[in-house]
Amino acid sequence: MFGVIDLPTYLAGLVLIVLLPGPNSLYVLSVAARRGVRAGYTAAAGVWCGDTVLMTLSAAGVASLLQANAVLFGIVKYAGAGYLTWLAIGMLRAAWGMWRTRREQPAGDSAAAVGDERPYRRALVISLFNPKAILFFVAFFVQFVDPGYAYPALSFVVLGTFAQLASVLYLSALIFSGTKLAAAFRRRRRLSAGATSAAGVLFLGFAAKLSVASA
């Protein structure tokens, strides 16, 4: 169908891949838990746009260029690791602020915080600065594209559409799960501080893993 071979195997692998935790899904869950459904979907939109860009670059062969050029791959890799580290530090600082003011009444500043955080932009950058994702898209997608098909771009569109649908379903589930935590976070600043600290530590782990990744 449209130059796609072994679609059931692709869908099975896609489900497993989407369910693997990563910085994108963690950030969307964190935003939804702290700020609600609307902000969660704003962050998710950044992920979907970033994934679309990565899929397009992969289909255009940019991933192969990164894989062949160690210097270019290193630049993208360390830029991504640096950005994830910067986000982690921001989360840990926010968690420390929550802990220091844990006995105070929660302030009604959520709208301002969302505006300052800009979840769409952050999620988009997190997605784009992930060279391993670019390489993965190429390594995974090409296995299911018929090399003899006359319109390979259409094959990538079909595969990418399935990938985005899976991402929409998964991130939507995370967003609505996160909003259930939001009320508890607003009532219990210690819980909010602990969750934010855990997210910051995980982002440091993602940054360390990315910094040692190889093409």
Contacts 24+ apart (CB under 8 A), 36-40: 36/110, 36/179, 36/182, 37/175, 37/176, 37/179, 39/114, 39/119, 40/119, 40/171, 40/174, 40/175, 40/178, 40/179
Q: Is the pTM of this model over 0.75?
A: no
Q: Give residue-wise pLDDT tens across range 153-208.
A: 787 888 888 989 998 999 999 898 877 766 555 555 565 666 667 767 776 776 77
